[in-house]
Structure 1
Amino acid sequence: MVYSRFNERQVDDMMKFVILSILCSVGIWADNTALFATVVNVAKNDTLNVRSEANYKAKKVGEIPPDAYMGIEKCRTVGNSMWCRIYPLVQNWYDNFGPEDIGWVNARYLKFSNRGYINIINKEKNCFYSIMCKSSINSNKCLIVYDLKYDYKKDKMIEIKSKWIERKKLKGESAFGAASQNKKINLESGYCTNGKMIDDYFK
């Protein structure tokens, strides 16, 4: 009987594996989607096509040059490959990939990053800055700097405040796209400048 029950468990595990394999073949969202990406593995005189859907036969909706920097909305597996839905960052546009463009590219042409300016969905912009992201079985969170105090006379960071926030609540942005238009919050109005100070602090 022990041998029989053991075989039943094996069959059950095999069925779970088969179901998981089927789900992966048709596509499931990647929980650890990065915030940003840079185009790699593309020749200097070539461009990377942006597609309307996550496959090479889908309509081309844009193209981006080598080393282009962009935001990642989400990624998904399609068969044996991964595709990511990308979007241009504010004022970080390209000839054939502008403010209204968004589409899919194969992840093999992307180098991912989680450090940079972000907006928290449904929150007022305030030059929030992501340091890193960590994934676990149940969640994917990013460490976000939301406030700091800097002594410009001594050129020294006095205090920095950060907290972990779910990746799904965040959207990667540029220094322009993350800036608050409220002058009480952002005296320079329209452009974030705290990124370098934060990067230097976390080196």
Structure 2
Amino acid sequence: MIKLLVAVDGSDSSLWAVRHAAFLYREGSISQIVLLNVQAPIEHGRASAYHSLAELRERERNEGEAALARAGEILDDSAVDYVAQIGIGAPANTILNAAQACQCDGIVLGLSAWARVLALAGAGTPARVMRRSRVPVTLVNAPHAQLPSEFTVHRPSTSHAHPALVVYPSASLPRRVDRLAH
């Protein structure tokens, strides 16, 4: 069956991508979902002078878990088989490397209004992922209206394991060089 990677940053647009993937799961189109949150590496900044690498990784893990929490609730409510991961690195590269490492058959990304503007210019994470991906990429256009709070279903937390913190090496994808044919 098909396995999808859904990139989640905690935004409403990424949650609409999660809802789309949950719908596909309920319809029987896919067998598993890989939730991925990408954290920018903070060990190269000033924080590394004041904190150990373990403390920085713990902060990245906490921020990643916070971003994945609502997405996990949506999938738990739909009884979806999923795994959650927190990747460290540049967003587009990490998404592509995670999709390859997890042997995903597709990638689902949520589009915010700003991401749509950047995509028109050929920039932004969704455009980079689409250009370099070896698997199909689905972009989910988030509606502008917010769902009223009475439509959300609150259930007790489940026994899903904590997301794995994974650093994907950026060298695993070969660079492609397009040459002009003469």
> Larger % of strand: which?
1
- State which structure, 1 or 2, has the greater radius of gyration over its C-alpha atoms: 1
Structure with greater helix percent: 2
> TM-score, length-normalised on structure 1?
0.25
Higher relative contact order (CA 8 A, sep 6+): 2
